[in-house]
Each structure stands twice: as C-alpha cells, then as structure tokens.
C-alpha cells in the first residue's frame, strides 16, 4: 500500500502543480504582470511548490534528511536530466542576464547552503544544523532575488500593453484552479513524505537517499514537463530560466521556510558531497551557457550522462 499511496501522492503533486501554475500565471496576466516576471517568479514558484510542500512537511515530521535531500536532489536533477533532455530535444537559447546574474546567483545560494550547514567544521559545535536563524538568512537572500526579478521586469517593460484581457481569461476559473492546485500539492506532499519514508526504512535506505532519488524525481517532474513543453514550443530561454529560477527557489525559499518552521538536523554527512556536486554542475551549466549562448544537443547528452553517473554513485554509496 505504501507504493500505491506514493504513486497517488506524486500524481496529486504533479497535477496540483499543473493547476497551480496555469491558474496563478493567468491571474498574473489579468493583473498585467509582464511575461518575464511570470516565468522567473510565478512559474518557478509553481513548479517548485511540490519541493516546498514535501520539504516543509518533512521538516515538521522531523525527517530532515528527506527535506534537505529533496532540495539538493531536485536541483541536481534539474541541472542534469531536465536541462539535458530539454536541450537534446531543442537547443536552449540563453539570455545574457541568465549567464551574468541568474546562474551565478544560483551558485552563490549553493555556497551559502554549504557554509550554513558546516557548523561542526566552522564553529566546532557537536552537530550540523540548519537553524531557524539560518532559515531567515535564506529568506533574506530570497527577498533580494525577488527584488532583482522585479527590477528586471520593470526595466524590460515596454510601452506595449498586454493585449490579453479578461475576455480570454476568467478570474473565477483561475482562482478555483489555483486553490485546487494548492490543495493537491499539500495533500500529495503529505502522502509522498509519509510513504517514501516508510519505504526507505523497509529497504534499508537512508532518509537522505530517498530525498535525493525517489522524492526529488517526483517533485521535479513539473520542471521536466514545463521545460520540455517550452523547448518544443521553441521557447528555450523560458525553459532554462524556469530551471534556474526553480533551483534558486528550492534553496532560498524552500529550505529557508522549512528550517524557519523547524530546524533541520544534518545527520548524513554525505550530503556535503552532494552539495559540492550540485555546485560543480552549476559551474558546468554556466560554461555550457557561455558557448554561443546556447546549451546544445551534445551538451544535453553530457548532462544526462552526468545524472546517470551521479545516480549510480549515490546508490552504491548507500549499499556499499
């Protein structure tokens, strides 16, 4: 039954995120928010909502390994498999702002995470913890990112008005979609955390491994579907922007909120290696993005191979 409820939970997460993204994006258009800000904030927040729900619920259930592993695993999944598959289907155009500011900001957020969990090494404390104060530091970084996003949107806003009006979009319909989507995400997240933890114990897996693999795969499916859809519609810039935005949200907003709700005790020191791998992959993405401002098909294949190698490594690490 654990497996059945896990699948149901993933289904609710994915469909809930789909409803949430559609509803909230349309509401943003009704409010005449520019498309750039929709992609960088609303869509990124929507596709990251499963990670947020799972990590916060895991934090409340004192399953900190699932909470942190989910975020790190989701980011690695996004940087490798999601971008890799998307680039293989259609080369991803990269905006200059993404190369100069957004990807480096992702790297900065990852470095901040590594520093804030290194309590034993840096302060000589008996254990590593993402404290409530650390969580508020992440949230302050998140506010800085949001300010940047709104400044970019403000500067990019032209004289051209959005021609889409309420004749095309219904307030009531999209409010219902947003609320139903959020409900599906919350309930689905509860099912995923509860049943994946039970499965982990039954298979002798650590909570962190479950977060890095099963949970991160399920919660990253919205990013995968969104990015592939954008690439097939020849909107490669949106696809890459969604991933970069989602990774920033995952670290700053998701972990910030989860640890502010309940401090996260880091019991699995292998997660330090995973965070370093996440940072290395971010640098690789930055290098790929600077080559003709595109992530090409061959580079997409390389990223997919990186994910397969990483997946093999963490599974062997758990059982050997």
pTM greater than the 0.85 cutoff? no
pLDDT score of 187: 81
Give 174's contacts (C-beta < 8 A, 6+ positions apart).
22, 23, 24, 26, 27, 30
Q: Is residue 35, in this structure, part of any structural domain at all?
A: yes
Two structure tokens written together for 303: 């990223």
pLDDT score of 307: 94
Q: Is residue 163, in this structure, part of any structural domain at all?
A: no
Q: Is residue 164, in this structure, part of any structural domain at all?
A: no
Q: How far is 196 from 9, CA to CA, in rounded Å? A: 10
State the total domains in the chain.
1
pLDDT score of 252: 94
| CATH number of the domain to which 301 belongs | 1.20.1420.30
Tens place of pLDDT for every residue, the chain, 320 residues? 788 988 898 888 778 877 877 777 677 677 666 555 666 666 677 767 777 877 888 888 877 888 888 899 989 999 999 999 999 988 888 877 778 888 999 999 999 999 999 999 999 889 999 999 999 999 999 999 888 877 776 766 554 444 444 455 678 888 888 888 878 877 887 787 778 777 777 877 777 787 788 778 777 777 777 777 767 767 666 677 778 888 999 999 999 999 998 999 998 888 999 999 999 999 999 999 888 888 999 999 999 999 999 989 988 887 77
Q: State which residues form the domain around 272.
A: 2-156+171-319
Q: Is residue 161, in this structure, part of any structural domain at all?
A: no
Q: Is residue 299, in this structure, part of any structural domain at all?
A: yes
Q: Is residue 166, in this structure, part of any structural domain at all?
A: no
**Is there a contact between 54 and 70 (Cβ–Cβ < 8 Å)?**
yes
- Reported in sequence order, the residue ranges of 238-278 that DSSP labels E, i.e. its strands, are 264-266
Q: Is residue 165, in this structure, part of any structural domain at all?
A: no
Q: How far is 263 from 255, CA to CA, in rounded Å? A: 10
Q: Is residue 36, in this structure, part of any structural domain at all?
A: yes
């Amino acid at each position: 039954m654990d497996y059945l409820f896990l699948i149901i939970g993933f289904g609710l997460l994915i469909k809930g995120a789909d409803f949430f993204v559609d509803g909230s994006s349309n509401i943003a258009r009704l409010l005449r928010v520019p498309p750039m800000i929709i992609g960088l904030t609303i869509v990124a927040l929507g596709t990251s909502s499963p990670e947020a729900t799972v990590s916060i619920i895991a934090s409340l259930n004192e399953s900190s390994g699932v909470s942190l592993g989910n975020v790190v695993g989701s980011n690695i999944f996004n940087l490798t498999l999601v971008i890799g598959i998307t680039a293989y289907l259609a080369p991803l155009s990269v905006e200059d702002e993404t190369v100069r500011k957004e990807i480096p900001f992702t790297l900065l957020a990852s470095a901040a995470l590594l520093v804030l969990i290194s309590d034993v090494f840096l302060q000589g404390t008996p254990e590593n913890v993402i404290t409530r104060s650390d969580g508020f530091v992440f949230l302050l970084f998140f506010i800085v990112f949001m300010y940047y996003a709104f400044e970019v949107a403000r500067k990019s806003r032209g004289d051209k008005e959005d021609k889409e009006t309420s004749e095309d979009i219904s307030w009531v319909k999209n409010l219902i979609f947003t609320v139903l989507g959020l409900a599906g995400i919350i309930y689905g997240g509860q099912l995923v955390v509860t049943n994946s933890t039970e499965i982990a114990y039954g298979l002798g897996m650590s909570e962190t491994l479950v977060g890095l693999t099963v949970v991160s795969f399920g919660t990253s499916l919205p990013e995968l579907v969104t990015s592939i859809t954008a690439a097939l519609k020849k909107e490669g810039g949106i696809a890459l922007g969604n991933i970069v935005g989602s990774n920033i949200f995952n670290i700053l907003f998701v972990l910030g909120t989860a640890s502010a709700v309940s401090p996260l005790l880091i019991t699995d020191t292998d997660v330090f290696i995973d965070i370093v791998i996440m940072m290395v992959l971010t640098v690789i993405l930055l290098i790929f993005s600077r080559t003709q401002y595109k992530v090409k098909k061959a580079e997409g294949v390389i990223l997919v191979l990186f994910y397969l190698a990483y997946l093999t490594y963490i599974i062997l690490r758990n059982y050997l």
